Amino acid sequence: MVDVAVNAMTDWASHGSNANTGGYFDAANRCDALLDSTRSVLGDFLGADSSGICLGANMTTMTFAFTRAIAQTLKPGDRIVGTRLDHDANISPWRIACETAGAEHLLAPFDPQTGRLDMVALEELINERTKWVAVTGASNLIGTMPDLKAIIALAHKHGARVFVDAVHLTPHQPINIRELGCDVLATSPYKWYGPHAGVMYIDPELLESLPIAKVRPASNTGPRKFETGTPNFECIAAVQAAARFLIEETMERIVTSEQAIFAPLLEGLLATPGVTVWGPHDLVARTPTVSFTVDSLTPDRVAQELAAKKIAVWSGDSYAMEVVAQLGLTNSGGVVRAGVARYVDENDVKHLLSTIRGLVSR
Ligand SMILES: Cc1ncc(COP(=O)(O)O)c(C=O)c1O
């Protein structure tokens, strides 16, 4: 977490004047004001109408709540289209909603060579029965960024709505929901230097009409309709601070600096004999995240060797189990995933590459 977010959380918890929403006294008013100002800052950060900004525990929990509501709007024969590039948090909630409603759930493949979403296959799946297209803004495993604008236009042409999982996209690219035109977008502040929390933009008109499970006294309108129970105010204070940090920093600057640090990482891995890079081999339409395997070592083993050198990488499928399955790597332990974030520098990249070269030459 960035220090301004840590401080915002501590300040909120320690200022001694916080309670809950909906009261007539100062501490209650401050809670209302915190929710309002956070929605407003997130609206600025994501280019969205702040009256659609909902706050919650994390993307997965919020997506399940959302798709439970959607399940009630589906009929047998309806179709939901997803992609195999997606994290399972944007697949299983839809799969379960379809099972509940007797609807169809179909996933568009990606090209295992290039890691790019197969747009022809996607187009073939979207028809007049399609109610939702659930697509990732970027693969958390191989970094591919599908062409969201084209997908949203295609879905809307057929009368389908679009749910974008922007959890992996948000820390690496500017997002403007108004320009994108998606109906729902989910993101997780802990991926962008904030606290463990979730944020979901839901088109305000859609939000009004959704049959969301709620307790009777809770609001029947606006984001509070979707935000069950007492908000996690201290976390929300930190979410707002993290968003302010990124607005000030500018995502454009982050993109430029991350790409400069990532390019030698990708190049270095591609040039190392005994290393296979999965997903795109170029820098086009991708995040600074790369997955690879090392000949004759399991991904877990590689991650352990790197951890011993103080290099933190993930191994396995990182919940992108469809990606790993389509790459044919399920039975061999998936991949090793390394990524560049705001605090990673060129020395970190050099250290990672020299450690990998040492492993390969053993
Ligand atoms: C692309 C993507 N979607 C969804 C999730 C799930 O997010 P959360 O941990 O907030 O539930 C993750 C988490 O890693 C992710 O990378």
Verify whether ligand 1 is closer than 6 Å to residue 348 (CB atom).
no
Pick from 233, 249, 265: which residue ends a domain? 249
Pick from 220, 249, 278: which residue ends a domain? 249
Same domain flag for 215 and 345: no
Index of the ligand 1 atom closest to the CA of residue 86:
1
Q: Where are the beta strands (DSSP E) in 191-324?
A: 198-202, 275-278, 289-294, 314-316
Same domain flag for 242 and 258: no
Q: What is the mean pLDDT of the chain?
A: 97
Same domain flag for 57 and 198: yes
Verify whether ligand 1 is closer than 6 Å to residue 92 (CB atom).
no
CB-based contacts of 27-32 (< 8 A; 24+ apart in sequence): 31/231, 31/233
Query: How far from the centroid of its chain's Cα atoms is residue 349's Cα?
Result: 24
Atom 7 (ligand 1) nearest CA: 59
CB atoms within 10 A of CB 354: 12
**Residue reference for tokens 């379809």:** 98
Please say whether the beta carbons of 79 and 130 come within 8 A. Answer: yes
**What would the mean pLDDT of 101-125 be, rounded to a whole number?**
98
DSSP state letters, 130-198: EEEEEEESS-TTT-B---HHHHHHHHHHTT-EEEEE-TTTTTTS---HHHHT-SEEEE-GGGGTS-S-E
Q: Ligand 1 center to residue 132 CA distance, Å? A: 19
Q: Name the percent of the chain lying above pLDDT 70.
A: 100
**What would the mean pLDDT of 211-228 be, rounded to a whole number?**
96
Q: Ligand 1 center to residue 167 CA distance, Å? A: 5
Verify whether ligand 1 is closer than 6 Å to residue 167 (CB atom).
yes
Verify whether ligand 1 is closer than 6 Å to residue 136 (CB atom).
yes
Buried b (16+ CB within 10 A) or exposed e, 321-347: bbbbebbebeeebbbbbbbbbbebeee
The sign one gets for the Cα dihedral 81, 83, 89, 90 is negative
Structure pTM? 0.98
d(Cα 26, Cα 116) in Å, to the nearest integer? Answer: 53
Please say whether the beta carbons of 162 and 132 come within 8 A. Answer: yes
Range of the domain at 315: 251-360
Q: What is the DSSP letter of 110?
A: B
**What would the mean pLDDT of 313-332 be, rounded to a whole number?**
98
Verify whether ligand 1 is closer than 6 Å to residue 188 (CB atom).
yes
pLDDT, residue 3, reads 98
Same domain flag for 168 and 266: no
Same domain flag for 113 and 184: yes
**What would the mean pLDDT of 264-270 be, rounded to a whole number?**
98
For residue 225, what are its two tokens?
A: 């309709």
pLDDT tens-digit readout, 9-55: 999 999 988 899 999 999 999 999 999 999 999 999 999 999 999 99
User: For residue 167, what pLDDT band results from cuts at 50, 70 and 90?
Assistant: very high
Same domain flag for 178 and 316: no
DSSP state letters, 10-25: HHHHHSS----SS-SS
Index of the ligand 1 atom closest to the CA of residue 137:
1
For a substitution probing ligand 1, which of 60, 64, 190 has the most ligand atoms within 8 Å of its CB? 60
Index of the ligand 1 atom closest to the CA of residue 165:
3
Cα R_g (the chain), whole angstroms: 21
CATH at residue 44: 3.40.640.10
**What would the mean pLDDT of 176-182 be, rounded to a whole number?**
98
Same domain flag for 286 and 191: no
CATH at residue 315: 3.90.1150.10
pLDDT tens-digit readout, 57-82: 999 999 999 999 999 999 999 999 99
Count of structural domains, the chain: 2
Please say whether the beta carbons of 78 and 129 come within 8 A. Answer: yes
pLDDT, residue 296, reads 87
pLDDT, residue 332, reads 98
User: For residue 205, what pLDDT band results from cuts at 50, 70 and 90?
Assistant: very high
Same domain flag for 18 and 117: yes
Nearest by Cα to 136 from 111, 156, 116? 116
Q: Which residues contact 132 (CB under 8 A, 6 or more apart)?
A: 70, 80, 81, 94, 160, 161, 162, 163
Q: Which residues contact 318 (CB under 8 A, 6 or more apart)?
A: 87, 140, 141, 334, 337
Q: Ligand 1 center to residue 117 CA distance, Å? A: 19
pLDDT, residue 149, reads 98
Q: Which residues contact 358 (CB under 8 A, 6 or more apart)?
A: none
Same domain flag for 319 and 175: no
Same domain flag for 165 and 109: yes
Please say whether the beta carbons of 285 and 110 come within 8 A. Answer: no
pLDDT, residue 17, reads 83
Report helix, strand and coil shares of the chain as percent, to nearest 5. Answer: 45, 15, 40
Please say whether the beta carbons of 168 and 137 come within 8 A. Answer: yes
Verify whether ligand 1 is closer than 6 Å to residue 165 (CB atom).
yes
Pick from 218, 249, 280: which residue ends a domain? 249
DSSP state letters, 245-256: HHHHH-HHHHHH
For a substitution probing ligand 1, which of 54, 55, 58, 59 has the most ligand atoms within 8 Å of its CB? 59
Q: Ligand 1 center to residue 316 CA distance, Å? A: 15
Same domain flag for 134 and 222: yes
**What would the mean pLDDT of 77-99 be, rounded to a whole number?**
98
**What would the mean pLDDT of 286-314 be, rounded to a whole number?**
97
Same domain flag for 329 and 304: yes
